[in-house]
Amino acid sequence: AHKKPAALSGGMRQRAALARTLLEDRAVVFLDEPFSALDAGTRAAMQELAAELLHGRTVLLVTHDPAEAARLADHILILSAAGAQSWPVPALPAPRPVTAPEVWACQSALLSHLRGVPA
């Protein structure tokens, strides 16, 4: 509470920025890699909190993490030099359990696609 932003770790700064975003009452929210500097446990907790607090709003989440996309997205768009490609999401409601087989399958297929490897 008494530290300047520059004295905080990357993860602490990221959590503070996400908290500010979650407290704003905006109809559209843009999140660019909001969970990337967090440890796995904190990341999962913050993803769930964000999903709960942003429910009913339009959220554009940019991520390079196939697991995060498979767990959180209602729609996945893969952006590349060739353009935008839609990717199917698991049928479960978001946020999906990390242990759900549908999430693992989506994550695996998405990662294979991104690497150019047949699934």
Six token digits for residue 20: 């500010």
DSSP string, the chain: --S-GGGS-HHHHHHHHHHHHHHS--SEEEEESTTTTS-HHHHHHHHHHHHHHTTTSEEEEE-S-HHHHHHH-SSEEEEETTEEEEE---SSPSSPPTT-HHHHHHHHHHHHHHHT---
Q: What is the pLDDT of the chain when averaged over all its residues? A: 90
Task: Tell me the pLDDT tens digit for each residue of 45-101.
Answer: 989 999 998 999 999 999 999 999 999 999 999 998 989 999 999 999 999 998 999
Domain boundaries, given as residue ranges, for the chain: 5-115
Residue 79: its pLDDT value, please?
A: 94
CATH 3.40.50.300 matches 5-115: yes
User: pLDDT at residue 119 above 70?
Assistant: no
Specify the pLDDT at position 90: 97
